[in-house]
Structure 1
Amino acid sequence: MAKVNRARSTSPPDGGWGWMIVAGCFLVTICTRAVTRCISIFFVDFQTYFSQDYAQTAWIHSIVDCVTMLCGLGFALCYSPAIAMVGKYFSRRKALAYGISMSGSGIGIFILAPVVQLLIEQFSWRGALLILGGFVLNLCVCGALMRPITLKDDQTTSEQNHVCRTETQGFQRASPSSTWTKEWVQTCLCGSLQQEYNFLLMSDFVVLAISVLFMAYGCSPLFVYMVPYALSIGVSHQQAAFLMSILGVIDIIGNITFGWLTDRRCLKNYQYICYLFAIGMDGLCYLCLPMLQSLPLLVPFACTFGYFDGAYVTLIPVVTAEIVGTTSLSSALGVVYFLHAVPYLVSPPIAGWLVDTTGSYTAAFLLCGFSMIFSSVLLGFARLAKKMRKTQLQFLAKESDPKLQLWTNGSVAFSVARELDQKDGESVAIAMLGSNPA
C-alpha cells in the first residue's frame, strides 16, 4: 500500500484569509445574483422590442436563473463554490460571514438598478447589456481570491479516498482484466459516492429540498414583475428603478443584521426557526402586494420584502450546514441550488400567463405568496414532528430503562434505583454470613 500524503489538518479559522473569501463571495453575488435580478429593468424594453406578451418575455429571465442553478455553466461555476468556501472558513461566525457575503446581491441591486436604467436611456438595451457583460468579467478576479483549505473531517475523507484509489490502481496493474478487480473498483466508487452524497437519504434534507422548491417558486417572480407592476399602476420608470434600489439596500440590511442577530447566543439555537419566519414574512408581503396601488405604499413593501429576502438567503447555507454538516456542505449546497432551477424556470412564465389571462397581477402574486407560506409551514411541521418523536423515544427509553423500577403504593409513586437494591441485597448477604459462619 502506497504511503498516504497527509495535508495539514486545521479547523475553520473564523477570520484571517477567511475575510478575503467573504470579500470574493461578496463580489461574486454582485456579479451574478444582482445582475440577474436587474434584468427585470429590461423587461418592458424586451416586451416592446420583440412585441411579445408577459409569459413569453418572462422566459428570458427564467432561462438565466434556471441554467445558473441547473448546469455547471456560466454563473454556476462561480456562485456555488464561492458560497461553499465561506462555510469552510467560518464556524462560530458563519451566519455573519454569510450575511456579509450575500449582501452583495442587495448592494448590487441598489447600485445597478438606477445605473442600468440610465444605461438603457443612453445606449439602448443592447449597449446596456454589453456594459454589464464587461462588468461581469470581474468574476475572474474573485476566483483568484479562493484559496483552498483542508479541515479535519475533509482530511479523513481525503485519506480514505486516497487509500481506495491507490489500492484500486495497484489491483488494476496486477490483474487489469480480473473480475475481482472490477468488483473492487466498483465497490470503491460506490463507497465514495455514498459517502459524499449520503445526506440525500436524510429525512431532514428531503423535507428541506421539498420546501426549497416552493420557496424558489415564490421568490423569483417579484424580481421579474416588480418594475412592470409599478409601471402598470402609474409609477414612472425612474421611480420603478428607485423601488428596485430600495429593495436592494434593505436586502443588504437584512443580510448583515439577520446574520449578526442569529449568531448571538440567545438566537444561535433558533436559526432554523428564524429561517422559517423570514420565508413566511415574505409570503405575507406577497399577499398584501395586490392592494398596494401607489408609490408611497410600495416603498414600505419593498423595505419589508427586501429585509426578509436578505434574511432567509443568509440562512440557507447555515440551515443546510446544520442538517448535513460541513463535510458535505459543498455537495449539499449544490443540490439545494440545483433544486432552485425548475421553479426559477417555470414560475415567471406561469406568473406571466396568469397576468395575460386575468388582466391583473393579483393571481400571480397570491400564488407566489401561498407557495412561500407553504414552504415555511412544511419545515415548521417537520421540525415539530421530529421533536415530538424525539420526546416520545426519550419517554419510551425511560420507561424501558432496566436501572429504574416503578411501582405504586396507593396514590404515591416510588422510584428506586437498581443500584440501591443491589446494595441492600449485599448487606443482607453479609448479615446472613455473619450469623452463619459455617
Structure 2
Amino acid sequence: MVSFLDLQMNHVKERFQDEKNKEVLFMCIGITSGVGRLLFGRIADYVPGLKKVYLQVLSFFFIGLMSMMIPLCSVFGALIAVCLVMGLFDGCFISIMAPIAFELVGPQDASQAIGFLLGFMSIPMTVGPPVAGLLHDKLGSYNVAFYLAGIPPFVGGIVLCLIPWIHSKKQSEVSRSPGGEKMEKMLENHNSLLSSSSRIFKNQSDSII
C-alpha cells in the first residue's frame, strides 16, 4: 500500500503542482481505512459463513474502480473523494481477510493461509512501482499505470465469486463419499463450535464496550 501511495503522490505533484497540502490525501485514506475496518468488521458479524466473501468482492471492485478514476480527476477535491472511498474499502479488505481464512481452512491453518495471502500480495507491490516508473518514462504520465492497477482487483473479485460455489461443491462430495455422513457431522459440530465461540466473544466485547 505504501508504494501505491508514493505513486499516487508523484501523480498529484505532477497533476496539481499549484495545490498546497497534498499530504491531506494520506490522511483521508488513513481515516476512512480505520472507519472501514470498524464498519465492515461489524457488518461481517451479521454475514453468515462464506457469504463474507462477497464483502471482499465488493471491496476489490471499488478499489479497482477508484484506482482507474484517479487519472480522470481534474479537480483536487474529486481526488480527495476518490481517496476517501478507496480508504473505506481498503479497511473492508483488511478486516474481512482473517474471517474468510477462518471459514475456508479453519482456525488451525488460518495463520498459514493469511501468510500465503500476504506473501502473494507482496509480489505486485514490489513489481508494480518499477513498472509504473518505466511506463512514466515512456508515456510521460502515470495514467496508464493507474488504469492497469485497477485491472487485478476486478480479476481477483471475479475469482473470489467462485469460492463459495467450489467450497459447497467440495462439501457435497465429502458428504456423498463413504463415511461422509460422519465427516459432515464433524463439520457441523465444528461450525457450531466456531459460531458459539464467536457469539461468546461478541457478547464479551459488547459487555466491555
Say yes or no: TM over 0.5: yes
Letter in 1 for 2:48: K
Q: In the alignment, which residue of structure 1 is the partner of 2:65?
A: 284
In the alignment, the residues of structure 2 paired with residue 353 and residue 257 of structure 1 have an alpha-carbon distance, to the nearest angstrom, of 38
Alpha-carbon offset, residue 382 of structure 1: 3.9
Structure 1 353/262 Cα, relative in aligned 2: closer, same or farther at 3 Å?
same
1:235–1:294 contact (8 Å) kept in structure 2: no
Q: In the alignment, which residue of structure 2 is the partner of 1:229?
A: 11
Structure 1 235/319 Cα, relative in aligned 2: closer, same or farther at 3 Å?
farther
Q: In the alignment, which residue of structure 2 is the partner of 1:380?
A: 161
1:276–1:379 contact (8 Å) kept in structure 2: yes
Match of 1:254 among 26, 36, 40: 36
Q: In the alignment, which residue of structure 1 is the partner of 2:206?
A: none
1:271–1:315 contact (8 Å) kept in structure 2: yes
Alpha-carbon offset, residue 298 of structure 1: 0.5
In the alignment, the residues of structure 2 paired with residue 302 and residue 237 of structure 1 have an alpha-carbon distance, to the nearest angstrom, of 16
In the alignment, the residues of structure 2 paired with residue 371 and residue 268 of structure 1 have an alpha-carbon distance, to the nearest angstrom, of 27
Letter in 1 for 2:76: L
Superposed CA offset, 1:122-157 (max 9, x none): xxxxxxxxxxxxxxxxxxxxxxxxxxxxxxxxxxxx
In the alignment, the residues of structure 2 paired with residue 305 and residue 236 of structure 1 have an alpha-carbon distance, to the nearest angstrom, of 24
Q: In the alignment, which residue of structure 2 is the partner of 1:275?
A: 56
Task: Give unpaired runs (5+ residues) of structure 2.
Answer: 177-209
Q: In the alignment, which residue of structure 2 is the partner of 1:355?
A: 136
What SS is found at the alignment partner of 2:108? coil
- Is 2:45 the partner of 1:263? yes
Q: In the alignment, which residue of structure 2 is the partner of 1:317?
A: 98
Superposed CA offset, 1:14-45 (max 9, x none): xxxxxxxxxxxxxxxxxxx8xxx3xxxxxxxx
The 5-angstrom pairing of residues 37-436 of structure 1 reads 37=2, 221-235=3-17, 238-264=20-46, 267-269=47-49, 270-387=51-168, 389=169
Alpha-carbon offset, residue 333 of structure 1: 2.2
Letter in 1 for 2:62: M
Alpha-carbon offset, residue 324 of structure 1: 1.3
Letter in 2 for 1:239: N
What SS is found at the alignment partner of 2:141? coil
What SS is found at the alignment partner of 1:285? helix
Superposed CA offset, 1:91-143 (max 9, x none): xxxxxxxxxxxxxxxxxxxxxxxxxxxxxxxxxxxxxxxxxxxxxxxxxxxxx
In the alignment, the residues of structure 2 paired with residue 262 and residue 236 of structure 1 have an alpha-carbon distance, to the nearest angstrom, of 42
Alpha-carbon offset, residue 237 of structure 1: 6.9
1:286–1:366 contact (8 Å) kept in structure 2: yes
Letter in 2 for 1:257: L
TM-score by length of 1: 0.37
Structure 1 236/253 Cα, relative in aligned 2: closer, same or farther at 3 Å?
farther
Superposed CA offset, 1:328-373 (max 9, x none): 2222222222222222210111111111111122210111101111
1:279–1:376 contact (8 Å) kept in structure 2: yes
1:233–1:294 contact (8 Å) kept in structure 2: no
Alpha-carbon offset, residue 288 of structure 1: 1.6
Alpha-carbon offset, residue 275 of structure 1: 0.9
Alpha-carbon offset, residue 254 of structure 1: 0.6
In the alignment, the residues of structure 2 paired with residue 335 and residue 367 of structure 1 have an alpha-carbon distance, to the nearest angstrom, of 24
What percent identity do the matched residue pairs reach?
21
Letter in 2 for 1:259: G
Q: CA RMSD in A?
A: 2.4
1:285–1:304 contact (8 Å) kept in structure 2: yes
Structure 1 331/385 Cα, relative in aligned 2: closer, same or farther at 3 Å?
closer
Q: Number of residues paired by the alignment?
A: 175
Larger radius of gyration: 1
What SS is found at the alignment partner of 2:117? helix
Letter in 2 for 1:233: R
Structure 1 385/323 Cα, relative in aligned 2: closer, same or farther at 3 Å?
closer
Q: In the alignment, which residue of structure 1 is the partner of 2:200?
A: none
Letter in 2 for 1:240: K
Q: Which is richer in helix?
A: 2
